[in-house]
């Protein structure tokens, strides 16, 4: 691919990736343990999915739907399923994300229904005491026979927490990450030490005991999606993987390399994952037509509700991140649209250009999309990445 204007530091960092003494990722039974690509799905836990539109296939966010989707994801050979934690929707004609199951309860049920796929749930550090969370994830790890993972989110949507009297008005965005840092360090210690005493600014543990320990050693998988400077630092220093986003391919690559360089500087290995919505049709023109149809139903009011939720209309942050910038088109994540062959090429290009370790996939229609993905896209993808050197 053509050279891009990256800061010198990033080039230097990417050169350093070649070093033999580069930190190796902790093994979690994922393809990326050995250089392969981790592929999973963002479960449709909330109504409306990830397209702010009234002209998409209906997604009701029900347990039954999530159960069918999870079983299908496992059957076609995906590596993980993950659900978000959400407590308030964005409004609009679609009442987007008005209804959302509890992430942990859903994942625990799905852990009992599946056998192989990794089970990643989400916790808001604002809402759970770390000792409660440590025990819940240890329980999920036992239910899933060692497949549990945790997406750690600080909480950014003020209305979501204010409605339950749980918004800390005295903490700003970066301080919420300070709180998350204390939280996740406490959880890690509780998973591995017989007794934890930790006196922090936000949490106090005194001879705190948490049993059973998780099944996985050294501990369950951790992931986060810090996009800001502070959020990325938190993710790099405390977790095993980061969800990255970009307004375009160049920014995705820049963000991914920056995260890897930061991790390398901290003596850690970090996996980078991107989100991707797949619109699979029989021809590229049909896929473009489907996208155009989705755009005609764009739910402007839900989009405003989303911006407000991120503090971009009437509250603190007033800055846009890659996620909200993308959502302006009605589609809340990068997408690939076309025939299975077009999508396979696009996924390979994105993963190679941005040196990604995997992707979390979203479908407008999960069941139809997963069937087609499993039949026509996953086999050539696995073959490609096995061929180029990583276990797929
Ligand atoms: C893949 C992905 C999953 C996320 N899951 C949640 C979630 O379940 N709940 C939530 O409140 N925020 C979630 N977020 C938001 C992030 O935690 C984070 O706040 C956001 O990416 C902005 O980055 P910043 O906090 O560094 O500003 C998610 C973001 C991404 C990209």
CA nearest neighbour of 152 among 223, 46, 81, 230: 223
Cα 226 to ligand 1 centre (Å): 7
Residue that the structure tokens 């919505």 belong to: 277
Supply the residue whose CA is at minimum distance from atom 30 of ligand 1: 225
How far apart are the two ends of the chain, measured CA to CA in Å?
23
Cα 335 to ligand 1 centre (Å): 18
Supply the residue whose CA is at minimum distance from atom 5 of ligand 1: 84
Residue 156, ligand 1, Cβ within 6 A: yes
User: Is residue 201 a contact partner of residue 170, using CB atoms and an 8 Å limit?
Assistant: no
Residue 187, ligand 1, Cβ within 6 A: no
Residue among 42, 122, 153 to mutate when testing ligand 1 (max atoms within 8 A of CB): 153
State how far the Cα of 360 lies from the Cα of 224, in Å rounded to an integer.
Answer: 13
Residue 231, ligand 1, Cβ within 6 A: yes
Concatenating the DSSP letter of every residue in 310-372 gives TTSSSSS-----HHHHHHTTTBSS-EEEE-HHHHHHHHHHHHHHTT-SEEEEE-SSHHHHHHH
160 CA closest ligand 1 atom index: 11
Residue 306, ligand 1, Cβ within 6 A: no
- Domains of the chain and any CATH numbers: 35-386 (3.20.20.30)
User: Is residue 381 a contact partner of residue 37, using CB atoms and an 8 Å limit?
Assistant: yes
Supply the residue whose CA is at minimum distance from atom 2 of ligand 1: 225
Task: Give the gyration radius of the chain's Cα atoms.
Answer: 20
Cα 312 to ligand 1 centre (Å): 15
Supply the residue whose CA is at minimum distance from atom 27 of ligand 1: 228
Residue 226, ligand 1, Cβ within 6 A: yes
> What are residue 242's DSSP bridge partners?
224, 272
Banded pLDDT at 351 (limits 50, 70, 90): very high
Cα 328 to ligand 1 centre (Å): 17
Exposed/middle/buried for 226, CB within 10 Å: 0-12, 13-18, 19+? buried
| Tokens coding 246 | 């970009």
Residue 329 clears pLDDT 70, i.e. is over it: no
The whole-number pLDDT of residue 22 equals 74
Interval 96-110 mean pLDDT = 98
Cα 288 to ligand 1 centre (Å): 28
Cα 149 to ligand 1 centre (Å): 16
Supply the residue whose CA is at minimum distance from atom 11 of ligand 1: 155
Banded pLDDT at 304 (limits 50, 70, 90): confident
User: Is residue 139 a contact partner of residue 107, using CB atoms and an 8 Å limit?
Assistant: no
Residue 234, ligand 1, Cβ within 6 A: no
CA nearest neighbour of 10 among 244, 352, 233, 255: 255
Residue 330, ligand 1, Cβ within 6 A: no
State how far the Cα of 81 lies from the Cα of 69, in Å rounded to an integer.
Answer: 9
> What are residue 151's DSSP bridge partners?
122, 223
pLDDT digits (tens, 9 = 90+) for 186-226: 999 999 999 999 999 999 999 999 999 999 999 999 999 99
Cα 154 to ligand 1 centre (Å): 8
- Dihedral sign, Cα of residue 223, residue 235, residue 242, residue 47: positive
pLDDT digits (tens, 9 = 90+) for 120-141: 999 999 999 999 999 999 999 9
Residue 84, ligand 1, Cβ within 6 A: yes
Residue 18 clears pLDDT 50, i.e. is over it: no
Banded pLDDT at 49 (limits 50, 70, 90): very high
Supply the residue whose CA is at minimum distance from atom 6 of ligand 1: 84
pLDDT digits (tens, 9 = 90+) for 4-13: 444 444 444 4
CA nearest neighbour of 152 among 165, 138, 133: 133
Supply the residue whose CA is at minimum distance from atom 19 of ligand 1: 156
Cα 182 to ligand 1 centre (Å): 18
Interval 97-120 mean pLDDT = 98
State how far the Cα of 285 lies from the Cα of 37, in Å rounded to an integer.
Answer: 29
């Amino acid at each position: 691919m053509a050279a891009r204007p990256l800061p010198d530091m990033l080039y230097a960092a990417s050169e350093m990736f070649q070093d033999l003494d580069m930190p190796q990722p902790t093994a979690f039974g994922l393809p990326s343990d050995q250089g392969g690509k981790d592929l999973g799905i963002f479960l449709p836990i909330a109504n409306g999915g990830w397209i702010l539109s009234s002209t998409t296939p209906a997604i009701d966010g029900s347990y039954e739907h999530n159960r069918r989707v999870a079983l299908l994801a496992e059957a076609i050979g995906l590596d993980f399923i993950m659900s978000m934690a959400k407590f308030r929707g964005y409004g609009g004609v679609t009442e987007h994300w008005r209804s959302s199951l509890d992430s942990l309860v859903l994942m625990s049920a799905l852990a009992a229904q599946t056998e192989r796929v990794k089970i990643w749930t989400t916790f808001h550090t604002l809402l759970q005491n770390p000792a409660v969370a440590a025990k819940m994830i240890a329980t999920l790890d036992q239910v899933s026979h060692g497949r549990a993972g945790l997406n750690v989110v600080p909480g950014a949507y003020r209305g979501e927490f204010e409605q339950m009297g749980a918004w800390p008005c005295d903490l700003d965005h970066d301080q919420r990450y300070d709180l998350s840092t204390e939280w996740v360090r406490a959880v890690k210690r509780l998973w591995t030490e017989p007794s934890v005493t930790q006196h922090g600014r936000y949490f106090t543990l005194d001879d705190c005991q948490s049993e059973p320990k998780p099944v996985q050693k050294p501990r369950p998988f951790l992931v986060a999606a810090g996009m800001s400077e502070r959020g990325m630092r938190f993710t790099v220093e405390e977790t095993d993987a980061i969800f990255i986003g970009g307004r375009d391919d160049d920014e995705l690559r820049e963000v991914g390399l920056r995260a890897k360089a930061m991790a390398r500087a901290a003596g850690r290995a970090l996996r980078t994952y991107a989100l991707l919505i797949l619109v699979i049709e029989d021809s590229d023109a049909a896929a473009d037509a489907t996208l155009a149809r989705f755009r005609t139903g764009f739910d402007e009011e839900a989009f405003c509700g989303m911006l407000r939720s991120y503090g971009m209309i009437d509250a603190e942050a007033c800055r846009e991140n890659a996620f909200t910038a993308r959502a302006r088109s009605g589609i809340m994540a990068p997408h690939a649209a076309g025939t299975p062959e077009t999508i396979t090429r696009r996924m390979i290009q994105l993963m190679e250009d941005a040196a990604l370790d995997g992707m979390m996939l979203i479908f407008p229609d999960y069941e139809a999309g997963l069937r087609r993905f499993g039949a026509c896209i996953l086999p050539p993808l696995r073959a490609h990445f096995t061929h180029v050197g990583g276990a797929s």
